Structures are given as C-alpha cells and as structure tokens.
Structure 1
Amino acid sequence: MRAGERYDINDADLIEMRDTTRDLTAIYNQTPRRERGKQRELIEKIFAKVGDNVHIEKAMNIDYGINTYIGNHVFINFNFTLLDCAPVTIGNNVFIGPNVQIYTAHHPLDSETRNQHTGFAEPITISNNVWIGGGSIILPGATIGDGAVIGAGSVVTKDIPENAIAFGNPCKVRKKI
C-alpha cells in the first residue's frame, strides 16, 4: 500500500490499523481544548511523527495516521480529513484552512476491479511555509513546493512549484511570489 502497489482494502491488518486510528481520533475529537497535554499525547499516537508547536482543531478524520509526518509550527483548522494510505509529509510552518481534505487513495476506474475492493495510493508532500486555503482538496501524488499558497476551494491535481500562488479547479499557478 505504502509503495503504491495495489492492495486489498479489506485486509484484516489494514482494518485493524484504521479502527485503532479512528478510535484515537474519536477520543481526540472529544477531548476538551483546555486539555492540551492529552491532545498532544493523542496526536503523537495517531501520526508517525509530530513536530513542535502543532495545533489541530477538531474535528479531524484520519484513515491511518501512521503514514503521516508533520513538521514544526503547523496549524490545521477545523474539519480536516486525511486519507493517508501512502506517505503524507507536511513540512514546517504550514497553515491548513478549515475543511481541507488530503487524499492519497485511488480506486480503480473499472467497476469489476473496484468491486473487488482493490486500491492503490500515491504520496503527497506539502513543503515548508505553505498555506492551503479552506475547502481545498489535495489529490494523490501532488507535491506543493516551499512557500506556495493554495487558494480556498482549490482542487490540487498535480504538483505546484515553490513560491506560487495557485487556485481553482483544477488548481493552476496564477502568479509567482
């Protein structure tokens, strides 16, 4: 799965990993904001790596967590969804707006294969000093370069270079910073 090869979505080990992560995420989502120490403990259990000064608003919906690496000084706003079947890297000094969705997962286009519950995934990289506007969707395989700004409501279908302002559906570079 992590290598981008096809995998059985209903594999018992994968189901157990997802269930564990979703249970921890449910606890996180119910933990009062003033219990920051408990919240930190939970995100350290959910994600593969969590840097310093990471703030995640509620609610979040996480598929695996163990495939996601979060840098330092990261702010993730309300209603974050992460399908991290492949590695997701979120760099340092990243701001993610409300209702952002990050999807590494693909499903086959032909219904016969899709009905066999086969999936595959591609990694996503969000580099340093990136701002992702609210309601954006980041699709499998995309890399967002250092210093880029993604406008609200964008659908990122391919790589965005560093120091670019990009927005739209599909997301396109509109100017360089």
Structure 2
Amino acid sequence: MPASEYEKMAAGEWYCCLDDELDGLRQQARRAVHAHNTLPPDERGAVAPALRALFAGAAPDIFIEAPFHCSYGINITLGKRVYFNAGCAILDSGRVAVGDRTMFGPGVQIYCAEHHKDAALRSAGIEIARPVAIGSDVWIGGGAIILGGVMIGDRAIVGACAVVTKDVPTGATVVGNPARQINAV
C-alpha cells in the first residue's frame, strides 16, 4: 500500500497535494519550464534541454512552442513529432501519454487533478490524479480543455474550445462544451 503522498498520487489514490515532496517536484518542473520559456529560440531549439530531461519520455523530434507549462513533467510521455503550439498547459498529476504526430493548437489545457467534492477535504488539499491518453495523429484545436480520465483515440479531432469530459473514439470529431461527437465513425 502506498505510503507517501507521491506514491498515492502515482497509484491513482486520493492524496494531499500540500506535501513537501510534491512541492519539490513541482519546483523542479517550474525551473525546467522557466528555462524553456525564457531561453532565446536559437538556444532553446525545439524544446529546452531541462524540460526534455524532466519528461518521463519524449521522442527526439517533439516541438514545444513557448510559453508552455506543466505541473510535474515526470508524468508526461510524448511520441514522435508531437507538436504543442504556444500557451499549452498540462497539469500532470496523473500520467499523460501522447501518441505520434499529434498536434495541439494554442492554449490547449490538460487537467489530470480532480479536487475532492467535500469542501473541508478540498481545502485540505485532497485530490486524485486521473490519467489522460491521447492517440496518434490526433488534432486538438486551440483552447480545448481535456479533463482527467479521458482517452482520445487515434486520428480523432477535438474542435477549438471543446471541453472533453469523456472518451473520444478513434476517428471521431468532437466539439462543444461538453464535447459531443459530430461525425459517424
């Protein structure tokens, strides 16, 4: 049974985000994100070395425009030729896996944390991390929000500003808030 708050978070159990170990991991991510966002493009390249080193896994040909934000980074795995446009944020308390050739428009946000519904527990920092899995050849339109626990199938399209609250089938196109499918797969 997991003992530390980090172990609880990684196991998908309720944990307290107000924890020194988790704060240290978030601080490490802030430093890497800061390096990525402030390095001149010629020095940064496709992704700053500190940010690339933070990720659980990243193909050599990913490209992340600045500014970018992630909470931990250590829970993010990116496939070949993944592209993030400017202003994307991944709150990766849970695992976030992105398949090959997937593209994110500007301002896309992925939220893995779900805060407790009980106000007293929520104010005490109790939350649970839900993973996000995004397949290959997916296009996520600008301003879209993807909530924790969602799986998006290969070749799917998420329209701009859609709020994805449930799984998206392979090849589907979803739009709106909450996102709804508009094509037959």
TM norm structure 1: 0.96
Match among 138, 146, 156 for residue 148 of structure 1: 156
Q: In 1, are the aligned partners of 2:47 and 2:63 still within 8 Å (CA)?
A: no
1:53 to 2:68 alignment? no
Amino acid of the residue matched to residue 137 of structure 1?
I
Deviation at 1:60?
Answer: 0.8
Matching residue within 58, 62, 66 for 2:74:
66
Q: Alignment partner for residue 28 of structure 2, among 20, 37, 44?
A: 20
Deviation of 1:121 after TM superposition, in Å, equals: 1.1
Q: CA deviation at 1:53?
A: 1.4
In the alignment, what sits opposite 2:10?
2
Shift of the alpha carbon at 1:10? Answer: 1.1
Distance across 1 between alignment mates of 2:30 and 2:100: 25
CA RMSD of aligned residues (A): 1.3
Structure 1: unaligned runs, 5 residues or longer: none
Which blocks of at least 5 consecutive residues in structure 2 are unaligned? 1-8
Match of 1:129 among 113, 137, 141: 137
1:86–1:104 CA contact under 8 A, matched in 2: yes
Shift of the 175–20 alpha-carbon distance from structure 1 to 2, 3 Å rule, reads same
- AA aligned to 2:10 is R
Q: Which residue of 1 aligns with 2:6?
A: none
Could you state the TM-score of these two structures normalised by the residue count of structure 2? Answer: 0.92
Per-residue deviation, residues 39-65 of structure 1 (Å, max 9, x unmatched) = 342232221111131110010111000
Aligned match of 2:4: none
Alpha-carbon spacing, 1:12–1:77, altered in 2? closer, same or farther (3 Å): same
For residues 97-118 of structure 1, what are the alpha-carbon distances to aligned partners after superposition, in whole Å with 9 as ceiling and x for unaligned?
A: 0000000000011211111111
What is the match of residue 5 of structure 2? Answer: none
Partners in 2 of 1:72 and 1:35 — Cα distance? Answer: 22
- Judged with a 3 Å threshold, the aligned counterparts in structure 2 of structure 1 residues 96 and 113 are, in CA distance, closer, same or farther, namely same
Is this contact kept in 2: 1:31–1:38, CA < 8 A? no
Aligned length: 177
User: Is 2:42 the counterpart of 1:44?
Assistant: no
User: Which residue is 1:176 aligned to?
Assistant: 184
